[in-house]
């Protein structure tokens, strides 16, 4: 009998909780105080086979269910998620270390928005094909068909939101899914499965397995899996996409970034500072689209740094359920070690100017001192060759880079192998559009940063990903096309006629 504060998580497939046969478990940890939360049972290869078999059995019926009927189930699931928002958000806070002020207002709601969006899309004819009158007695029509059993591999920074970003279009399109949450934040997965079941989703349509990279590798290489959707770091994504593509599977990859935020000389200072802070410190900087390379006009140096230092005081780490807290710890011990090593490298090797923060932990209550806390950090006078500027840190670390001309800033912004996000702050909207067109990134913002509604297709360029999620374009990643040419002339044109 577990003595941990939350019940153990086993597997979920065929519409119910299932025991794992591996005999292996791991413990998920509260990042704010480094205490155990729950025991998680690891799926064996045999367990994954059973889950995939359940999804495979469910596919024929679910894929043939009329889109409007699928939509009703998913709409009900979205309503249930909103009803259970606070309960789910509390678990997300404990598991991820994010402040409750964030999880209660963003994570569940935005996930439910995506589920509702795709339910409405397919219910309103979003899976309809096209008809083209080729000539008077011939036409071409297209249909969209679901892919089959799909694998979704989640990330630890937005657990339930990403689970919904993957499962919503997958299920709406008529596919079934095996979902593997990150081993660092697994507590949401069974809750989501139970919400789907309560909404009327048939057994086997959404299934959950737990484990680390070896479980993900077996899942993505399985011959029955038709498509893999992965969110995570670039190096892992390359391995996953290589394995999947090598077996002719469909893939969607949402990977890392080192995104540039360009502040133009005519921008509003207050908005620019607020935007830069949101692009670096929200979710403790653990956001793949973060604008961690902040390009600032050289003439702004004194004013920008002065205003930024004033506003850095408004970052408030502390008890995660305190309404005043707006920054939590990093997600895990191993990630804390990674981020602090980058801060150390920035100080000692890159020799960037440390404007704020640095090594050590922020002041938090005594019962939280063992947690994975880090000080929000700002480096200034950075150069493009510094490691802290070139590599994704995935923590609350801002690098300020000064420039002389806008053309120079754009050129330097594009000097990276990554291309997930980019943005510009300026009062000149014509110039904003011109610069956005030059920035090599798949997700861009003008005079704002970070908002990613269900209606907005998002995906990276370069090494930052393949395909898009969300928006009307997002459903295309979960269907395959069938084109038919129908000739109604009553005769077949042939070259094989008697001369």
pLDDT tens digits, one per residue of 259-313: 999 999 999 999 999 999 999 999 999 999 999 999 999 999 999 999 999 999 9
Considering the chain, what percentage of its residues have pLDDT values greater than 90?
96
Burial of 419 (0-12, 13-18, 19+ CB in 10 A): buried
Residue 1 contacts by C-beta under 8 Å, 6 or more apart in sequence?
none
Query: Is 407 a known active-site residue?
Result: no
Find tokens 């937005």 and name the residue.
Answer: 158
The predicted pLDDT at position 243 comes to 84
Other beta carbons within 10 angstroms of residue 493's beta carbon come to: 7
Mean pLDDT of 145-166: 97
Backbone angles phi, psi at 340, to 5 degrees: -65, -30
491 to 158, 486, 487, 494: CA distances (angstroms): 59, 12, 8, 9
Distance CA 220, CA 233 (A): 16
Residue 482 contacts by C-beta under 8 Å, 6 or more apart in sequence?
142, 143, 144, 145
- Residue-wise pLDDT for 171-181, tens only, equals 999 999 999 99
Distance CA 399, CA 449 (A): 16
Instruction: Please report, in angstroms and rounded to a whole number, the separation of the first and last CA atoms in the chain.
Output: 88
Distance CA 441, CA 254 (A): 13
Mean pLDDT of 84-92: 98
Band the pLDDT of 52: cuts 50, 70, 90: very high
What one-character DSSP code corresponds to residue 327?
A: B
Distance CA 401, CA 403 (A): 7
- Residue-wise pLDDT for 460-474, tens only, equals 999 999 999 999 999
Contact 393, 335 (CB under 8 A): no
Hey, is 435 helix, strand or coil?
helix
**Catalytic choice (254, 305, 392, 469):** 254
Hey, is 419 helix, strand or coil?
strand
Considering the chain, what percentage of its residues have pLDDT values greater than 70?
100
Distance CA 19, CA 337 (A): 34
419 to 169, 247, 439: CA distances (angstroms): 24, 26, 9
Structure tokens at 274: 């607020």
The predicted pLDDT at position 159 comes to 97
Residue 230 contacts by C-beta under 8 Å, 6 or more apart in sequence?
153, 220, 236, 237, 240, 241, 251, 252, 253, 254
Band the pLDDT of 3: cuts 50, 70, 90: confident
The predicted pLDDT at position 249 comes to 94
Mean pLDDT of 38-49: 98
Region of residue 447 (phi > 0: left; psi between -120 and 50: alpha; otherwise: beta): left
Band the pLDDT of 246: cuts 50, 70, 90: confident
Contact 204, 179 (CB under 8 A): no
Band the pLDDT of 1: cuts 50, 70, 90: low
The predicted pLDDT at position 240 comes to 87
- Among 26, 121, 16, 86, which Cα is nearest to 58's? 16
Domains of the chain, earliest start first: 11-256+464-484 (3.40.605.10), 260-446 (3.40.309.10)
- Residue-wise pLDDT for 183-202, tens only, equals 999 999 999 999 999 999 99
Structure tokens at 206: 């959404």
- Residue-wise pLDDT for 425-465, tens only, equals 999 999 999 999 999 999 999 999 999 999 999 999 999 99
Mean pLDDT of 311-338: 98
Distance CA 462, CA 117 (A): 28
Band the pLDDT of 214: cuts 50, 70, 90: very high
Contact 71, 194 (CB under 8 A): no
The predicted pLDDT at position 2 comes to 65
**Side-chain half-sphere CA neighbours of 479 within 13 A:** 22
The predicted pLDDT at position 268 comes to 98
Mean pLDDT of 43-71: 98
């Amino acid at each position: 009998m577990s003595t941990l504060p939350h019940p153990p998580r086993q597997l979920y497939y065929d519409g119910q909780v299932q025991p794992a046969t591996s005999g292996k478990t791991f413990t998920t940890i509260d990042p704010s105080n480094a205490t155990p939360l729950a025991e998680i049972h690891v799926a064996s290869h045999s367990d994954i086979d059973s889950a995939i078999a359940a999804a495979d059995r469910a596919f024929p019926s679910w894929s043939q269910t009329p889109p409007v009927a699928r939509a009703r189930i998913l709409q009900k699931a979205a309503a249930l998620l909103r009803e259970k928002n606070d309960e789910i958000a509390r678990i997300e806070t404990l598991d991820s270390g994010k402040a409750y002020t964030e999880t209660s207002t963003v994570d569940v709601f935005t996930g439910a928005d995506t589920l509702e969006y795709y339910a409405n899309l397919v219910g309103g004819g979003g899976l309809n094909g096209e008809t083209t009158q080729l000539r008077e007695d011939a036409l071409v029509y297209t249909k969209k068909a679901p892919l089959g059993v799909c694998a979704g591999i989640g990330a630890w920074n937005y657990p339930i939101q990403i689970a919904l970003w993957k499962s919503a279009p997958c299920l709406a399109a008529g596919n079934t899914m095996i979902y593997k949450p990150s081993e660092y934040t697994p507590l949401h997965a069974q809750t989501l499965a139970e919400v789907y079941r309560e909404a009327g989703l048939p057994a086997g349509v959404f299934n959950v397995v737990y484990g680390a990279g070896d479980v993900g590798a077996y899942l993505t290489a399985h011959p029955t899996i038709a498509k893999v959707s992965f969110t995570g770091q670039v190096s892992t994504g390359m391995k996953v996409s290589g394995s999947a593509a090598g077996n002719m599977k469909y893939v969607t990859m949402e990977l890392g970034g080192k995104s540039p935020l360009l502040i133009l000389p005519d921008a509003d200072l207050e908005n620019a500072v607020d935007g830069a802070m949101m692009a670096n410190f929200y979710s403790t900087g653990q956001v793949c689209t973060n604008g961690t390379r902040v390009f600032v006009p050289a003439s702004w140096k004194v004013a920008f740094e002065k205003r930024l230092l004033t506003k850095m005081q408004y970052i408030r780490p502390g008890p995660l359920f305190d309404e005043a807290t707006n920054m939590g710890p990093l997600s895990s011990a191993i990630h804390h070690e990674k981020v602090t090593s980058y801060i150390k490298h920035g100080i000692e090797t890159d020799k960037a100017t440390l404007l704020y923060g640095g090594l050590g932990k922020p002041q938090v209550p005594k019962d939280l001192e063992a947690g994975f806390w880090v000080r929000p950090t700002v480096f200034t006078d950075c150069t493009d060759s510094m490691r802290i500027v070139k590599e994704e840190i995935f923590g609350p670390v801002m690098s300020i880079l000064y420039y002389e001309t806008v053309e120079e800033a754009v050129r330097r912004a594009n000097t990276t192998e990554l291309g997930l996000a980019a943005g510009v702050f300026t009062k000149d909207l014509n110039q904003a559009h011109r610069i956005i067109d030059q920035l090599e990134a798949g997700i861009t913002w003008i005079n704002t940063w970070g908002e990613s509604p269900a209606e907005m297709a998002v995906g990276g360029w370069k090494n930052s990903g393949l395909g898009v999620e969300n928006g009307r374009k997002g459903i295309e990643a979960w269907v395959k096309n069938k084109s038919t040419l129908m000739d109604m002339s009553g005769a077949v044109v042939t070259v094989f006629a008697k001369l």
